[in-house]
Amino acid sequence: MESGDAAAYANRRADERVAARFEVRFNQTQDAARALRAYSLNISAGGLCLLTRKSYDVGSHVRLSMVIEGEEFHLTGVIAWVRDEAEAIGVRFTDMSDEDRARLQRVVDSFKR
């Protein structure tokens, strides 16, 4: 991605991302076996960036479980981008309840303090 493209992409985000490292589990059995150590790099109320050695296609759907600051989340998402050289993927959350979004926003806000 060119630097101008990256800036344009960053500006499309509706939610501020904050740096945060925590373990993320994939709920699909085949994914859990291959991605035992998926860790976040950053998160927002709308998505997160994960380090994972498993390759994903943009548009693939995933189900994730994570505990952040003592709050447990079970979320669905779609792979928004893939950076193979960095073993990183971007996940945009989908079908999130208003309650989960509010809880996640509170957790994200706690990282800003």
Measured in residues, the chain has a length of 113
The β-bridge relationship of strands 88-94 and 47-51 is antiparallel
pTM of the model: 0.80
Which residues are CB-neighbours of 8 under 8 A, at least 6 positions away? none
- Contact call for residues 17 and 57 (beta carbons, < 8 A): no
What is the tens place of the pLDDT at every residue in 23-69? 998 887 665 555 456 899 999 999 999 998 888 899 999 999 999 98
CB atoms inside a 10 Å sphere around CB 36: 13
Task: Give the residue extent of every domain in the chain.
Answer: 18-111
For domain 18-111, which CATH number applies: 1.10.3720.10, 3.50.50.60, 3.40.50.720, 2.40.10.220?
2.40.10.220
